[in-house]
Amino acid sequence: MSHPGVTTESRLVRMLLIGTAGLIVGLLLLMPLLAVFIEALRKGWEVFLASLHDEAALSAVKLTLTAAAVSVPLNTLFGVGAAWAVTKFRFKGRALLISLIDLPFAVSPVIAGLVFVLLFSPHGWFGRWLEEYDLKVIFALPGIIIATMFVTFPFVARELIPLMAAQGSDQEEAAVTLGARGWQIFLRVTLPNIKWGLLYGVLLCNARAMGEFGAVSVVSGHIRGETNTLPLHVEVLYNEYQFSAAFACATLLALLALVTLGIKSAIEHFTGHRHHGRH
Partner 1 sequence: MSKRRVIPGFGLSLGFTLCYLSLLILIPLAALFLKAAGLGWQEWWRLLGSARVLAAARLTFGASACAAALSAILGLPVTWVLVRYRFPGRRLMDAMIDLPFALPTAVAGITLTTIYAPNGWVGAWLLKLGIKGAYSPVGVFIALTFIGFPFVVRTLQPVLEDFAKDTEEAAATLGAGRWLTVRRVVFPMMVPALITGFTLAFARALGEYGSVIFISGNLPMKTEILPLLIVSQLEQFNVPAAAVIASAMLVVSFMLLLSINLLQRWLDWQKS
Partner 2 sequence: MSISIQSIHKTFGGYKALDDISLEVSDGSLTALLGPSGSGKTTLLRIVAGLEFADVGSGKILFHGENVVNVPAGRRRVGFVFQNYALFRHMTVAQNIAFGLSVLPRRRRPSGKEINERVRELLHLVKLDGLERRRPDELSGGQRQRVALARALAIKPKVLLLDEPFGALDAQVRKDLRRWLRVFHDETGLTTLFVTHDQEEALELADQVVVMRNAHIEQVGAPQEIYDQPRTPFVYEFLGNVNKLAAAAGPAQYVRPHEIEVKFAAEYEPASDRLAVVQHLFSAGPVASLSVRLEDGQFLEVEISRKQLDELALSEGDKVALGFPISDNR
Q: Is 189 in the site for partner 2 (CB under 8 A)?
A: yes
Q: Is 164 in the site for partner 1 (CB under 8 A)?
A: no
Q: How far is CA 214 from CA 34, 47, 117, in A?
A: 24, 28, 13
Q: How far is CA 90 from CA 53, 87, 134, in A?
A: 53, 8, 45
CB 36 within 8 A of CB 255: no
Draw the binding track, 65-104, toward partner 1 (x: CB under 8 A; -: no contact): ------------xx--xx-xxx-xx-x-----x-xxxxxx
Q: Which does 179 bind (CB under 5 to 8 A by kind): partner 1, partner 2, none?
A: partner 2
Q: Is 271 in the site for partner 2 (CB under 8 A)?
A: no
Q: How far is CA 62 from CA 29, 55, 210, 213, 223, in A?
A: 29, 11, 11, 16, 14
Applying CB under 8 A, among 60, 130, 218, 248 the residue interacting with partner 1 is 218
Please tell me the distance from the alpha carbon of residue 59 to that of residue 103, in angstroms, as a whole number: 32
Q: Is 22 in the site for partner 2 (CB under 8 A)?
A: no
Applying CB under 8 A, among 22, 32, 81, 192 the residue interacting with partner 2 is 192
Q: How far is CA 274 from CA 236, 264, 277, in A?
A: 38, 9, 9
**Contact set for partner 1, span 237-276 (CB under 8 A):** 238, 243, 246-247, 250, 253-254, 256-258, 260-262, 264-265, 274, 276
Applying CB under 8 A, among 194, 198, 234, 245 the residue interacting with partner 1 is 234
Please tell me the distance from the alpha carbon of residue 171 to that of residue 165, in angstroms, as a whole number: 12
* Least Cβ distance, residue 198 to partner 2 (angstroms): 13
Q: Which does 44 bind (CB under 5 to 8 A by kind): partner 1, partner 2, none?
A: none
Q: Name the residue among 193, 195, 204 with its Cα closest to residue 276.
A: 204
Q: Is 276 in the site for partner 2 (CB under 8 A)?
A: no
* Least Cβ distance, residue 45 to partner 1 (angstroms): 20
Q: Name the residue among 4, 23, 1, 25 with its Cα closest to residue 13.
A: 4
CB 84 within 8 A of CB 105: no
Q: Is 173 in the site for partner 2 (CB under 8 A)?
A: yes
Q: Is 180 in the site for partner 2 (CB under 8 A)?
A: yes
* Least Cβ distance, residue 234 to partner 1 (angstroms): 5
String of DSSP letters for 181-227: -HHHHIIIIIHHHHHHHHHHHHHHHHHHHHH--HHHHHHH---TTTT
* Least Cβ distance, residue 170 to partner 2 (angstroms): 4
Applying CB under 8 A, among 28, 177, 274, 276 the residue interacting with partner 2 is 177
* Least Cβ distance, residue 5 to partner 2 (angstroms): 32
Stretch of 48-56, 113-121, 129-137, 193-201 contacting partner 1, by CB under 8 A: 113-121
Please tell me the distance from the alpha carbon of residue 206 to that of residue 252, in angstroms, as a whole number: 14
Residue 153 φ/ψ, nearest 5 degrees: -50, -50
Q: Is 192 in the site for partner 1 (CB under 8 A)?
A: no
Binding site for partner 2 (CB under 8 A): 170-171, 173-181, 184, 188-189, 192-193
